[in-house]
Structure 1
Amino acid sequence: MEYITTNEILEAIHGELVLQGEETKHNNVCIDTRIIKERDIFIAIKGENFNANDYAAEASKKGASICIIDEMKFEKTEFNKKTTVIKVADTKKALLMLAKFYINKLNIKVIGITGSTGKTSTKDLIAAVLSAKFKVFKTLGNFNNEIGLPMMIFKLDKSYDVAVLEMGMSHFNEIHNLCEVANPDIAIITNIGMSHIENLKTRENILKAKMEITDFFSGDGVLIVNSDNDLLQDITSKYELVKTGIDSLADYTACNLKVLENKITFNIMDNGNLIETGMEVNIPGRHNILNSMLAVACGRVMDMSYKEIALGFKKLEVTSMRLNITKGKKFTIINDCYNASPDSMIAAIDVLCDTHGKAKIAVFGTMKELGDSAYDGHKQVGEYAKSKRIDLLITIGEFNDAYKEGFNDIDKCRSFETYNEAVSFLEKSLKKDDVVLVKASRYMKFEGVVKELENINDKEVIKK
């Protein structure tokens, strides 16, 4: 973290100085006293079930250089004399305001990524491509909301050329607020699907919310979109607009596609001209060609050559629990249990079908935030699994009946109420060289199912 003075912080967050401590170089910004380190700036955030103002004096005693609070719940004498205490009207707003001040101080190129699905994969791909030419920072995991994004910004320093920041939302104005902080120079929209339709009611409203990513563009801002998506195909923008795709008319189009078990290869048509440099990316799935094309376009906007882009793809480091394929001694596990929507379920089914093995088995749970479309969304996924001739569909959760209706094969669809029941059934049913896909929305914590399946593989190895 670059040095910022107490006066700069006071001005940035419109704070009131309660206690003057020592002026020092700060290590980091922290919102959790359990992991706070000496010379950290502590910001006391209120959550639904806690109030971090209760722990401000503890943060001071652990060595915090500055405590930013919106409630004074201690006597001044309880604070370390080295700690500066600043009071604000709202610490959540102060976190955003300080992050905005800090990133503006760095003079760094910012790329913002949003979309209904594929944000994290596209973030990883863009960061890999750009790393062939620039020093790149990318959002860790999916720290992409009004708490997570500023915490990522504070990890930046002047050594970075580019920050690739993921931006999530579930309501109007959330992307707007994130972009007021990060002020992206380049914005990426992966697609417009069904995620968060429970809150926003229509896909057109979801598009409107995602388009907030351009709200703070300057005159040279660039918007890059996947024009294979029906709602992005015909959008217009007063800023520079770059379209990518496979099947649509676009500025950059993928052709000569090969979707293999553990990688994708493709060529590029640049405004109708075939580019000789071929692209090879070590992740599965046709949908990841679309995500990769967004990275290609981003590289070109950043004046990278196609050879540099191809080299960048070889540096890819993917975020965990997203189509991670593990081949065990007995069977293969596809771990894609970080999140789920109808579009991402369909993409994962395609990867399951492309993975070498005997029986193809899907273990699916609930997809959240679909609102009135929830039953039909789960039914649609069941129908798609049936159309791809999945050998066995196992479902867990409140929409078992919707999956079953869509799959429409009572002999090849089994429903369970608990993980343990499903895993017990799988332990008896899985055979050598089978492939099992595990996927659900994050709140179902299906990584527990993956862990149990991995244990089954280990037990089988020991028996042999």
Structure 2
Amino acid sequence: MEYMSFDEIVSAVQGEVVLKGEYSGFNAVSTDTRKIEKGNIFVALKGENFNGNEYIKTASEKGAAICIVDEIRYKDEEIKNYTTVIKVQSTGSALLDLAEAYRSKLNLKVVGITGSAGKTSTKDLVAAALSGKYKVFKTAGNFNNQIGLPLMIFKLDNSYDIAVLEMGMNNLKEIHTMAKAARPDVALITNVGTAHIGKLGSRENILKAKLEITDFFNSKNILIINGDNDMLSSVENSNYQVIKTGIDSNADFKADNIELGEDYVEFEVIEGKGCTKEKFHIDMPGKHTISNALLAIGCSKIMNMDYENIRQGLKNIQTTSMRMDIIKGEKFSIINDCYNANPDSMKVAIDVLKNSNAQRKVAVLGTMGELGEEAFNSHKDVGEYAGKNNVDLLITIGEYSKAYEEGFSEVQDNRQQHRAFENYDDAVDFLTKEYLQEGDTVLIKASRAAKFELIVEKLKKNIS
């Protein structure tokens, strides 16, 4: 980590030193006492089912140099003499404020990524492309919220050239606070769909929330957006540069001559109004991969990379677990895309299944969260999309099975089936003991809370 003085830390979090220890510096920031190591700063966060303020004694015993609290839930004699305690108004805000102060000490570029779907895949593509020339850091796993993002910032130091940081949200002002901490030089928006519409009320509000990533932009900053998305296509701004990418629309970086393979895509990129076409091959499936890759290519070009370096970088692609992971077996294959789900990403996954070289195509779909009053119709719409796109068997688990069935039945033909199950075991038993044959492919997808990775693990035991 880069150096921050004690006074800088106290000032950044607007805190009061309530117990002064023998401070000698810190080496990392943690919000989890189970992972604290000697010399860490511990930020005592609160949630619905936990209160970090109750673990200050434990944090000190494990070697915490500083504990940042917003409640006093300890006794002075329980705290080791090397631990300093700083009290703040809100530890959640303090974590972001401290990250903002730390970010100001970093001499690197930050690429911020948000969108209703495709954030993580785009993050992986951007980081890979940029690695053709630069030392790149990227958000780990799902550390893309108001707790995860600052923890990623604290992982940075000036040995990196570029940090690629993912930003998710559930409501207005969340990306604003993350952008304030991360201060992205370049921002990418993948799309604006209906994820979180239950909380935000409209796609217009979702767009507003995504555009918060530019709240601290000036004339030196650049926003790169997917111009094929109806909500993003008309975005313009006089205060900073806007670059558009696209497959089906006029764009600054446009894809042409597209080939969609079972587990790869190939396409050519036309930059601006030029006639030169640069060919790319990426070992990831789906038309959406091209949309996300165009954002990565556009970002790399404005970071002064040439196309050959970008191509070399994309060969280093390392995808995040449970994101469109194709597992091929002797008996059948699995498309593991169960990390999360919303209506847009569901349709993308069904497109990949449709394009697979499978004898029969099976989709195992579960509940999509945070859709509010749109929930039933959204699940019905995905069911209809599955029926229209050659899904032979639709298996549903969860409270919206009826909605899936209504949509699917509107377009299904005699060969297509729908089965609803109450639990994972019954669904897996039906698939493995009664239905699946050699050459079939099964898509597994639902929102994170459904834990559909358990279905994947059960199916993997029967795959060969």
TM-score (structure 1 length as normaliser) = 0.97
- Give the equivalent residue in structure 2 for 1:254: 255
- Give the equivalent residue in structure 2 for 1:201: 201
- Partner secondary structure for residue 97 of structure 1: helix
For 2:437, give the aligned amino acid: K
The one of 419, 423, 441 aligned to 2:424: 419
- Give the equivalent residue in structure 2 for 1:48: 48
For 1:166, give the aligned amino acid: E
For 1:359, give the aligned amino acid: R
| Gap runs ≥5 in structure 1 | none
Quick check: 1:5–1:23 contact (8 Å CA) kept in 2?
A: no
- Partner secondary structure for residue 319 of structure 1: coil
- Give the equivalent residue in structure 1 for 2:96: 96
- Give the equivalent residue in structure 2 for 1:11: 11
Quick check: 1:333–1:438 contact (8 Å CA) kept in 2?
A: yes
CA distance in 2: counterparts of 1:166 and 1:420, whole angstroms = 35
CA distance in 2: counterparts of 1:227 and 1:67, whole angstroms = 46
Quick check: 1:127–1:138 contact (8 Å CA) kept in 2?
A: yes
Confirm whether residue 455 of structure 1 aligns to residue 461 of structure 2.
yes
Which runs of structure 2 are paired with 1:141-290 in the superposition (5 Å)?
A: 141-238=141-238, 239-290=240-291
Please, which moves more after superposition, 368-377 or 429-438? 368-377
CA distance in 1: counterparts of 2:49 and 2:119, whole angstroms = 29
Quick check: 1:111–1:188 contact (8 Å CA) kept in 2?
A: yes
- Partner secondary structure for residue 243 of structure 1: strand
CA distance in 2: counterparts of 1:413 and 1:72, whole angstroms = 56
Confirm whether residue 443 of structure 1 aligns to residue 449 of structure 2.
yes
CA distance in 1: counterparts of 2:275 and 2:170, whole angstroms = 39
CA distance in 2: counterparts of 1:444 and 1:283, whole angstroms = 25
- Give the equivalent residue in structure 2 for 1:331: 332
- Give the equivalent residue in structure 2 for 1:294: 295
Quick check: 1:61–1:80 contact (8 Å CA) kept in 2?
A: yes
Q: CA deviation at 1:312?
A: 1.1
- Give the equivalent residue in structure 2 for 1:431: 437
- Give the equivalent residue in structure 1 for 2:389: 388
CA distance in 1: counterparts of 2:212 and 2:347, whole angstroms = 27
Q: CA deviation at 1:155?
A: 0.5
CA distance in 1: counterparts of 2:52 and 2:72, whole angstroms = 11
- Partner secondary structure for residue 2 of structure 1: coil
Q: CA deviation at 1:278?
A: 1.2
- Partner secondary structure for residue 56 of structure 2: helix
- Partner secondary structure for residue 327 of structure 2: strand
Aligned length in residues: 458
CA distance in 2: counterparts of 1:43 and 1:170, whole angstroms = 23
- Give the equivalent residue in structure 1 for 2:32: 32
Q: CA deviation at 1:276?
A: 4.2
- Partner secondary structure for residue 462 of structure 2: helix
| Gap runs ≥5 in structure 2 | none
CA RMSD of aligned residues (A): 1.2
- Partner secondary structure for residue 276 of structure 2: strand
Quick check: 1:242–1:251 contact (8 Å CA) kept in 2?
A: yes
Quick check: 1:268–1:274 contact (8 Å CA) kept in 2?
A: no
Q: CA deviation at 1:395?
A: 0.6
CA distance in 2: counterparts of 1:52 and 1:139, whole angstroms = 24
Quick check: 1:254–1:293 contact (8 Å CA) kept in 2?
A: yes
Quick check: 2:138–2:163 contact (8 Å CA) kept in 1?
A: yes
